[in-house]
Structure 1
Amino acid sequence: MRTLYFDCFSGISGDMVIGALIDAGADPLQMEEELKKLNLNEEYTLSWGKVVKNGISSTKFDVILTSKSEQPHEHSHSHGHKHSHNGDHSHSHEHEHSHNDEHNHSHALHNHHGSRTYKQIVEAINEANLNESVTNMSIAIFKKIGEAEGHIHGLPLDKVHFHEVGAVDSIIDIIGAAILIEQLGIESVQSSAIPTGSGHIHIDHGIYPVPAPATLEILKGVPIASNAIRSELATPTGAAIAAVLAEKFGSLPAMTVESIGYGAGTKTFENHPNVLRIIIGEIQ
């Protein structure tokens, strides 16, 4: 069985997942074409390229928002900027999108209040005519986040507005990850325990402890690993991808390894490579 293992020794975020999948051999250009079905392409461009994190060559993936998109809130963790922690700018590729279809697109995801509802996001995914498994994966991940946000704020799922997680970058991260996982022919997913980090973060509602309440809610039932790093290591998007897709949490299973990918996070830590490692192989 073709299995993907998330080795989350430095946590997990949506952009790290996509970076690691590209690094393991997935085709980002095919993902980019599929994402155009959402009719959001006038709101972003995508960028990916090699960086070195504490001696590990890895792939950094970014969603760069255009002036037409709503700017993400502070809690949109690692996106929307060009990062060059190690001077490895020369390998980065940016792909401009054509805007000539912008007059016939669905308006499900277009609003101007800085937030999108769970219902709007699900409608847009269903209207996009994506592969069935991509549609199902994406909706399940959004539902996991929506239920957690609803629980924290005391709202039913249909009333949940995605301020932080509904920003364009997270929509791209979740659906993009589903597209690449399907593309790679993954039949099962496993994961290590998830380190959440420690300290505090600034989000819409003020200063919150790490892990943020929504992240912790998403990780109910998932083993959390202790980690001394004072930073947010698991984002709501990354936590939901692991929580929804992984059938089992634990150490690396016995497998014949076929490919390995390293996805770079935005932050750089002094003594710790901030990357997500994925290992893909066959389990007998």
Structure 2
Amino acid sequence: MKTLYLDAFSGISGDMFIGALLDLGVDFDQFRAELAKLNVDGYQLHVERLSKSSIYGTRFDVQLTHEKDHGFIESHHDPHHEHHHQDAVRHLSDIAALIAASTLSEKIKQQSLAVFTEIAKAEAAVHHMPLEAVHFHEVGALDSIVDIVGCFVALDLLKVDEVRASELTDGSGFIHVAHGEMPVPVPAVMQMRIGTNIPIKQRTDIQTELITPTGMGLVKALVRQFGPIPEAQILLKSGYGFGKRDTGAFNALRVLLFDEKKSMQTVSSDQDSVLLIEANLDDEDGESLGFAMDLLLEAGAFDVFFTPIFMKKNRPAIKLSVLCAPAERDRFASMLMKHTRTIGVRYQRMQRVIMKRHFKTVETRFGPIRVKVASHGDLVKQMAEYDDCAKAAREYGTSLETVKQEVNRLLNS
């Protein structure tokens, strides 16, 4: 399971998001080919890898055939005026039709339209107008379509399962737009924050916008958890997407790609602490318990186990126990309350004595097999990784035990 963490110390925009994902390793040719499924023209993609403050990252830009105003504007109700401009603007319904007619995957279509809808609702509320009256200038719409759809294309290519984020940072003061001055955070961003737990802090030393409506729409659609950098996952890669504004500071979005497979971590310490979260369940069926266990393990729990217990009046019940990193308390507590019938959980921090471990690869007649090497003082244990053995057994049409015996023979020779 892959987790993408957005370190938004300098805000977020669509082009910063895409630049960071390209910097993370998304193949640009493959990205461009997927975007072509939109079946629209009038734009070119520009990618540049450069250095800022001696840190290399990627700047992404949608270069349009004709420059016009960008962003949402209100529609005029004069039918003659509307007819005069009908080729120069796109309403939300037009954008929805364009995305629906594309050959993109259904998942990307739905995700992209959800962001456009969030932004349009915010603009409609800010300008006190009906949703169907909100529209983009033609070229501005194209710019935003490519940015928003491109974000989901890149996430799909990276095979990201979950997106988390730090608190968002915005500037302060005012920015000048077609309608005059707007306070920062801009009204659409503030509108999208209503009713959410999205944390935003302001930097009073930066007098400009750092969070764009597109960036906020993406965060609202994607991020389900805000907090510090994950501490109990394997960091695979990091990337930087540079913003276009000169803020007087390091203007970039940093993204971190994690793998939650705890079993493949190298451990150099012989002790650590874990959190034990528990709930007593007396009204849960076996299938629901199994489903909850699978979700908790997939989310990165160290272990999940059931214990038969008897509660008051001798009612038989199950105690569900979850071991996780202490910093993950809120996430797993929320999962327990979401996926079981419990209305509360208890927890305690526990110390562990553990074996140090690292991994090595053994070349066998069934291909390379990874081996976990665990040690504590003079004690050493070597165990073949189940996933590798199972894969080899399937590929070579042999038994799992035969593969394990082959690995053990080579380890002991």
Shorter-chain-normalised TM-score: which range? 0.7 to 0.9
The C-alpha deviation readout for 1:4-25, integer Å capped at 9, x for no partner, is 1110000001100000000000
The CA deviation at 1:219 is 2.6
Tell me by how many angstroms 1:163 deviates: 3.9
Counterpart-to-counterpart distance in 2, 1:227 and 1:130: 38
TM-score under structure 2 length normalisation: 0.57
Q: Match of 1:45, as an amino acid?
A: Q
Verify: 1:280 aligned to 2:257, yes or no: yes
Alignment match of 2:122 (pick from 148, 173, 179): 148
Distance in 2 between the 1:164 and 1:18 partners?
22
Assess, with a 3 A threshold, how the Cα gap between structure 1 residues 201 and 174 changes in structure 2: closer, same or farther. Answer: same
Aligned-residue CA RMSD (Å): 2.0
Q: 1:154 to 1:53 in 2, by over 3 A?
A: same
Counterpart mapping for 1:1-284 below 5 A:
1-41=1-41, 43-67=42-66, 71-73=68-70, 112-113=87-88, 115-163=89-137, 166-220=140-194, 221=196, 222-228=198-204, 229-254=206-231, 255-270=233-248, 272-283=249-260, 284=300
Provide TM-score, normalisation by structure 1: 0.81
Q: d(CA) in 2 for partners of 1:276 and 1:120?
A: 31
How far residue 154 of structure 1 moved from its aligned partner, in angstroms, is 1.8
Structure 2 distance, partners of 1:230, 1:30, is 37
Q: Which structure has the higher relative contact order (CA within 8 Å, separation 6+)?
A: 1
Larger mean Cα displacement after TM superposition, 160-169 or 259-268? 160-169
Instruction: Name stretches of at least 5 consecutive residues in structure 2 with no aligned partner.
Output: 73-84, 261-299, 301-413
Give the structure with the higher percent strand: 2
Q: Is the 8 A contact 1:56 1:273 kept in 2?
A: no
8 A Cα contact 1:6 1:191, kept in partner: yes
- Greater helix share, 1 or 2? 2
Kept in 1, the 8 Å contact 2:124–2:131? The answer is yes
The percentage of aligned residue pairs carrying the same residue is: 42
> 1:31 deviation in Å?
2.0
Alignment correspondent of 1:80: none
Structure of larger gyration radius: 2
- 1:111 positional shift: 5.5
Distance (whole Å) between structure 2 residues aligned to residue 253 and residue 166 of structure 1 = 36
Change (3 A) 1:240 1:202: same
Tell me the secondary structure at the aligned position of residue 23 of structure 1.
Answer: helix
Q: Deviations over 1:95-151 (max 9, x none)?
A: xxxxxxxxxxxxxxx9632x2111111111111021122112101111110110111
Q: Which runs of 5+ in 1 are unaligned?
A: 77-109
